Amino acid sequence: MPGFEMFGALERAEVQEVLDTGVLMRYGFDGMRNNIWKARELEEALAARMQTRFAHTVSSGTAALTVAMASAGIGAGHEVIIPTFTFVASFEAVLALGAIPILADIDDTLCLNPEAVEKAITDKTKAVMPVHMCGSMADLKPLKALCDKHQLLLIEDACQAIGGSYEGKPLGSYGDMGCFSFDYVKTITCGEGGGIITNNKTYYKNADHYSDHGHDHVGKDRGAESHPFLGYNYRISELNAAVGVAQIKRLDDFLNIQQKHYRILEDSIAQLEGITLRKVPETGVQNYSFLNFFLPTTEIARNAHKALLAAGVDACFYWFDNNWHYYREWEHLTQQKSLGALDEAVTQRIAESTQKGFPDSDQWMGRTISCLVKLSWSREEVDRRAALIQKVLKNELKGS
């Protein structure tokens, strides 16, 4: 990743088809568009690749999460359990619906710990949202068992792990709904965009309507469409969808490239004493977009990260100190810094659920380094990078 590294003739051809029609909006203008419907085409391809009955595209991964939850009836006062390690969009989407994000610990998968989820369930819990971070997945089987036991929704945030699988099912298709991001730095990109997949016809219809101001999309006269319920504007444009149409055709090629590069990097550190790889659940296949590993202590990990950057190993991340992806720096959430007033129940539950911190998550994230796997590297560049990573980590481990 990211897919923009591989932009070429296929992407340009798909975009040019849209420009030739002059119709950049996904709905209406039937007479002008010469039967070019890129958003529909992307949805059909996404559903086929992810082995689901339905897919719907929207303007971003954040929009996908918001629309998915709204389509399943999540709203004011409901609680949604999310991990401490995720992108800020996870809790933003929950809050946008008036619902309450409840943080729960991760484990050595770097994703939701089922035991922590069970402890976080209350009579207000409506959904569990595992976030498949950095190319690999949560252990979905026990999470689904919990959701079935407590009659909760399982909504997969697969924004960072498209192309991975669990029990032979594409990530996103295991739960009730799955969400993807097609932003500029994802494995496949639309520039900006997102997708929702599901086998539930009602959720799909709700998503279709809700993301376009509540339009029911019946008939060919947009002005005559009815509005079964309130909606908002989360539409994807035809230009963005056109890029996605090209990119999804290349997804499996991208995954193969990532896996080859990943294996070389993995082999370079596999024999280093003191380093362990992030756990991939049994039956799980990651998408190989990140090499994730644990060092013995937080101090060693922090120093090793600095040494890697100083040595020229770019795109390596120490999430423990990252203000986008780990709860320790989310003071705008924990201190409820909002332009508009938040509901008192929201602020109270956020304070209650975060006041003790998350030491179990800290002991995993404090020792974690993640290295991005790029598509555009030559074999020589991968080998050079692998040797450099090995050398730096050897020195840091020896010095500890």
Residues 58, 195: contact at Cβ < 8 Å? yes
User: Which one-letter DSSP state was computed for residue 319?
Assistant: G
Record the tokens describing residue 321, joined without a space: 């100190």
Residue 394 annotated to the active site: no
Rounded CA separation 204/67 (Å): 10
Record the tokens describing residue 91, joined without a space: 């809790």
Choice among 38, 126, 144, 186 that is catalytic: 186
Would strands 177-181 and 284-285 be described as parallel, antiparallel, or unpaired? unpaired
Record the tokens describing residue 346, joined without a space: 């929201």
Record the tokens describing residue 372, joined without a space: 């991005």
Record the tokens describing residue 80, joined without a space: 């949604």
SS3 state of residue 115? helix
Residues 33, 228: contact at Cβ < 8 Å? no
Rounded CA separation 354/103 (Å): 7
State phi, psi for 8 to the nearest 5 degrees. -165, -150
User: Which one-letter DSSP state was computed for residue 85?
Assistant: B
First to last CA, the chain: 33
For CA atoms 40, 45, 46, 47, give the dihedral sign.
positive
Rounded CA separation 365/85 (Å): 8
Rounded CA separation 277/110 (Å): 11
**Nearest Cα to 192, choosing from 157, 158, 241, 159?**
241
User: Please, what's the b/e burial string for 357-366 (b: 16 or more CB within 10 A of its CB; e: otherwise)?
Assistant: ebebbbebbb
**Nearest Cα to 162, choosing from 182, 192, 191, 142?**
182
Record the tokens describing residue 40, joined without a space: 């529909």
Query: What's the longest Cα–Cα distance across the chain?
Result: 72
Instruction: Tell me which H or E stretch contains 305.
Output: helix 298-310
**What is the set of active-site residues?**
186
